[in-house]
Amino acid sequence: MNAKRLVLLVGAVLVLAGFGYLVYGGIGNNLVYFLTPSELKAKGAAAIDSPVRLGGMVVPGSVTWNAEAIDLRFRMTDGKGTIEVHARKAPPQMFRDGQGVVVEGKLTRAGIFDASNLMVKHSNEYRPPAPGHVPQEMYRSLVKEAGTS
């Protein structure tokens, strides 16, 4: 093995090591844990300010949505623990009482979960509820207004 090859090899090893370190550190700092409200509460102060994906159900009657201020507040539960959620976002269309939701965000010092992203839990298996939620019925008045019905 000549000197040039050795230099190249050492260089490659160094680059790889540095890169590995970067990846390792990068992943560790950017993991988003998937928790339920009770699990989040069990973590206590350690959970504050670290990004979390929280899965649970909207507690019926807990939703307040202020359209003027784009301010959504509701409580979320997994049956064991309940947590107050606050989002400066419009609720998704299918968002309603008793719906399973996943929110992304951080727990603040005040113990309120600050959500930056809301996702309604849905997949091919979960079809939309029909009663009272048939869009044609919901928005019939809009159709009439537009006169295109």
Of 45 and 141, CB closest to other proteins: 141
Q: How many CB atoms lie within 10 A of CB 75?
A: 18
**Does 47 participate in binding other proteins (rule CB under 8 A)?**
no
**Does 114 participate in binding other proteins (rule CB under 8 A)?**
no
| Cα R_g (the chain), whole angstroms | 24
Interface residue with other proteins, options 9, 10, 14, 34 (CB under 8 A): 34
**Does 40 participate in binding other proteins (rule CB under 8 A)?**
no
Instruction: Please classify residue 68 by burial: count the beta carbons closer than 10 Å to its beta carbon, then call 0-12 exposed, 13-18 middle and 19+ buried.
Output: exposed
Q: How far apart are CA 56 and CA 121, in angstroms?
A: 9
Which tokens is 81 given?
Answer: 């623990």
**Does 110 participate in binding other proteins (rule CB under 8 A)?**
no
Q: Name residue 1's amino acid.
A: M
Residues that bind other proteins (CB under 8 A): 4, 8, 12, 15, 19, 22-23, 26-27, 29-36, 38-39, 51, 53, 55-57, 59-60, 67-68, 70, 77-80, 88-94, 97-98, 100, 102, 120-131, 135-136, 138-139, 141-143, 145-146, 148-149
